Structure 1
Amino acid sequence: MTTDQRHRVFTDQQWARIEPLLPTNAGKRARPFENNRRIVEGIAYRYRAGIAWRDLPREHFGPWQTVWKRHRRYAADGTWGRVLAQILADADTAGDIDWNISVDGTINRAHQHATNTSRPEQDTGATSNYKNLDDRECEPAGHGVGRSRGGLTTKIHHAVDGRGRPLAIVITGGQLHDGVILSQVLADIRVPRVGPGRARTRPDSVLGDRAYGSRANREYLRNRGITAVIPEKKDQVAARKRRGQRGGRRPAFDATAYKNRNVVERSFAYVKQWRGLATRYDKLAIVYRAAAVISAVLTWLRQ
């Protein structure tokens, strides 16, 4: 059973980078994982093509049940988060991360196959790289699906470095305002050190559009020693001018640095080339997020 080039997502060089980082199940009271590359290629191909799991070509990837179970397991135990963390650690050691980051969110329609689960109507459904005590991803109550003006939708929040490569991925319901989730998106940034030392969690600056320009967000960034490159909202400008001297000074804003904020929009353009991410078919938020993390891993490996 072989996988031809048309059905491959990873190159041989990219696979050589991530293969040692994936669990093999060796040494446990269970059958060791076999054909790991074929299974992972099947996971990535399913999201790239946007097909149902049952429609995976058996002659290239084997039984679809095996591919699905491996993806579900890797999503639950945080495997892809650890793979991305190691790639980020290597990039940071090489001085390859631009810590002037950009943040934004993109909304995606949830297919009816993703929404036939019980969920609270207004639950934010946020899921990120947070782990509980047994190092497993935590599924939110609302499964990251919310009701917005476009119907049942989900939202991918990104924090990307200055070259548009994801450092943090958070999934929420589509109704959640981008500015509300800023602190959680930044809390998801954790780049371990290669060797001794604590992981880096604080960027130099944060570039965001007016949705992130609330007073609470600016105060949060200031308390952490992070430069905010966020334009003021028009109503905030008007309110400050009405108050005169009591309105305080205009927040500092670097218009030149702000021109680079579009890298986060370009990162979403790449993510949505995978049809299984542009439209959500997964019931579980942790499974959907795991695919977004695989996409982020590929983005870093390409560069």
Structure 2
Amino acid sequence: MSRFRLLSDEQWALIEDLLPVRTGRPGRPFSDARAMVEGIIYRYRCGIAWRDVPAVFGPWQTIWTWHRRLSAEGTWDRVLQRLLAAAEAAGEIDWAISVDSTIARAHQHATNITRVTQGASSNYTNPRIEPPDHALGRSRGGLSTKIHELVDGNGRPLVVLLTAGQAGDSPLFLPLMRHLSVPRPTGGPVRTRPDRVRGDKAYSSRAIRTHLRTRKIGAVIPEPADQQGHRKRRGSRGGRPPAFDEVDYRGRNVIERYFNQLKHWRGIATRFDKLATVYRAAVVLHAVITWTNTLSDMT
């Protein structure tokens, strides 16, 4: 445990009041909420079984139950919204956002669950509702889950969604944008429109470009070779090539670097959780820790 850095006092102060003061059912003895959170972090950081979480954090059954309950209640999403509002008030959010996805291989312990795969899909309206396929699908590497994210210009997460591993990137762009909502410091309408969006060729579709153009959001998305060929073969009817800022596109690497940091948590790099809501909550918790690091450094 000496190699593992737990929450600092400054980080804990940013999230403490949004977490339950008790664990377990009413009437049960009080358990230290900070120890519960640190136990959850420890488990995902090390990628161990819940029953192997050190006893210093408390009973592993309590830690698991607490995490499961917070996942279903959307507590970590509310904590993330609080931190995003604080970051926006401090001018810390860079609204040149990037979009991408990464694959997490599912361990055999995660796949031992009944799945409805015929016509099933993940829930994009309310990601806290367990989807019938549990966001598990078969891609080239076997059963896997795909993590889709929006990050700001500095590579800090804004929105997290899950799908089965074989799902495409492009269909998830609009759901990601619908979930982008950051409260403004003045108390006015929440901010839902970035300045521009950076994405790779997987996001070069007519629907996405039309959506961004309609909302007056800059699109920094390269055009694939096949789309270039189709456009040129149509001649003047093919229209002009879409605008593309090659220099600005270099900033898209921030989301690749963030995924690298995300997978330092071994319990996220490999999915051990049966329920998609529980696994997604761990990814959101990593986002919470990322923003507490940023905000605590400002104090």
TM-score range, shorter chain: over 0.9
What amino acid maps onto 1:69 in structure 2? T
- 1:55 deviates by 0.8
- 1:225 deviates by 2.0
Indicate yes or no: 2:281 matched with 1:280: no
Aligned equivalents of 2:118 and 2:249: distance in 1?
Answer: 33
| Residues 123, 142 of structure 1: 8 Å contact kept | no
Matched pairs, number: 293
What amino acid maps onto 2:256 in structure 1? E
Q: Give the % identical residues.
A: 57
Provide structure 1 residue ranges, at least 5 long, that are not aligned to the other structure: 132-136
Aligned equivalents of 1:248 and 1:32: distance in 2?
Answer: 69
What amino acid maps onto 1:54 in structure 2? R
Residue aligning to 1:53: 50
User: What TM-score do you get using the length of structure 2 for normalisation?
Assistant: 0.93
| Residues 124, 173 of structure 1: 8 Å contact kept | no
Indicate yes or no: 2:235 matched with 1:244: yes
Q: Deviations over 1:160-200 (max 9, x none)?
A: 00000000011111100111110111112111234521211
Aligned equivalents of 1:139 and 1:276: distance in 2?
Answer: 19
Alignment CA distance shift 1:178-1:243 (3 Å): same
Please give the residue correspondences for 1:112-191 in structure 2 after superposition, counting only pairs within 5 Å: 112-121=108-117, 125-127=121-123, 130=126, 137-191=128-182
What amino acid maps onto 2:47 in structure 1? G
- 1:258 deviates by 0.5
| Residues 161, 167 of structure 1: 8 Å contact kept | yes
- 1:25 deviates by 5.0
Provide structure 2 residue ranges, at least 5 long, that are not aligned to the other structure: 295-299
SS at match of 1:237: helix
Q: CA RMSD in A?
A: 1.9
| Residues 130, 188 of structure 1: 8 Å contact kept | no
What amino acid maps onto 2:180 in structure 1? I
Please give the residue correspondences for 1:1-303 in structure 2 after superposition, counting only pairs within 5 Å: 6-25=3-22, 30-31=27-28, 34-58=31-55, 60-121=56-117, 125-127=121-123, 130=126, 137-303=128-294
Q: Deviations over 1:104-149 (max 9, x none)?
A: 0000100111111111235564356837xxxxx2111111111111
| Residues 105, 157 of structure 1: 8 Å contact kept | yes
Aligned equivalents of 2:263 and 2:124: distance in 1?
Answer: 19
Q: Deviations over 1:225-273 (max 9, x none)?
A: 2111100010000011111111101111111110100000011000000
What amino acid maps onto 2:101 in structure 1? G
Aligned equivalents of 2:64 and 2:152: distance in 1?
Answer: 31
SS at match of 1:108: strand
- 1:15 deviates by 1.1
Aligned equivalents of 1:123 and 1:194: distance in 2?
Answer: 42
SS at match of 1:101: strand
Aligned equivalents of 2:287 and 2:196: distance in 1?
Answer: 21
What amino acid maps onto 2:189 in structure 1? R
- 1:29 deviates by 5.2
Aligned equivalents of 1:241 and 1:251: distance in 2?
Answer: 12
